[in-house]
Amino acid sequence: MYISHNWLKEFIDFEYTPAELDNILTGLGIEVEHIVDYADKFKNFFIGEVLTKEKHPNADKLSLCTVDYGDGIKTIVCGGPNVAAGQKVVIAAVGAVVPNGGFLIEKRVVRKIASEGMICSKSELELGESPEGIWELAAGAVVGTPLVDYLKVNDVIYEIGITPNRSDCLSHLGIAREIAAYSRQDVKIPSADFT
């Protein structure tokens, strides 16, 4: 079962970090199997725009692109066959760790040209398949927006293993009740107006 940190906070006020909440839930007999912090997963990924695209002078299948993602104009060597000037794309800035593969983006020299980042495909971001190459975003995407905000996933997701005797914890409200009991707080039950 998956639980959203942000959604839990709609039921109960708490300031626990994900690691603290993991320890609390485990202490209560609720096993947290995995935690995904999307702000951390997509740290240093931004919406950018390809300003220019030229053939790489030292490689047949690479392009030399200038991009803007809110941190000045950067040069990126790109192997995506569908990259083009004017596209809105996802840029992995120096310091980003690509989710699919786990490699760190650094300023690197590619065929005698310095590359200051990476233009990403959906599959590299673990957001689906992208057989066409890089992920072209809608024209209205705002340059400089962090990817986590563009995707509206600025949240922490807990994967929880519920044992058969804990069916009371099969919802966000059930988990919130456990946290409330631990921290001696009240649960905020949303009102339901069916009129």
Phi, psi of 164 (to 5 degrees): -60, -25
**pLDDT exceeds cutoff 80 at 9:** yes
Note whether 104 and 35 are same-domain residues. Answer: no
At 109 the three-state DSSP class reads: strand
**pLDDT exceeds cutoff 90 at 190:** no
Neighbours of 175 (CB within 10 A): 25
Note whether 88 and 27 are same-domain residues. Answer: no
CB of 147 closer than 8 Å to CB of 39: no
Read off the pLDDT of residues 10-61 as tens digits, 9 standing for 90 and up: 999 999 999 999 999 999 999 999 999 999 999 999 999 999 999 999 998 9
Note whether 63 and 125 are same-domain residues. Answer: yes
Q: Share the mean pLDDT of the chain.
A: 94
Let me know if residue 143 belongs to a domain. Answer: yes
Note whether 82 and 14 are same-domain residues. Answer: no
Note whether 106 and 56 are same-domain residues. Answer: yes
**pLDDT exceeds cutoff 90 at 103:** yes
**pLDDT exceeds cutoff 90 at 157:** yes
Assign residue 6 the CATH number of its domain. 3.30.56.10
Note whether 140 and 48 are same-domain residues. Answer: yes
Rounded distance, CA 29 to CA 24, Å?
Answer: 9
- Nearest Cα to 112, choosing from 67, 72, 74, 62? 62
* Structural domain boundaries, residue 22: 2-40+153-183
Residues near 143 by Cβ (< 8 Å), separated by ≥ 6?
Answer: 46, 47, 48, 49, 68, 69, 70, 88
Note whether 34 and 91 are same-domain residues. Answer: no
Assign residue 144 the CATH number of its domain. 2.40.50.140
Instruction: Please report, for residues 53, 139, 175, 179, the alpha-carbon distance to residue 86 in angstroms, rounded to integers and kept in the order given.
Output: 9, 9, 46, 49
Note whether 59 and 11 are same-domain residues. Answer: no
pTM value? 0.84
Let me know if residue 141 belongs to a domain. Answer: yes
Classify burial at 83, counting beta carbons within 10 Å of its beta carbon; exposed 0-12, middle 13-18, buried 19 or more.
buried
Number of domains in the chain: 2
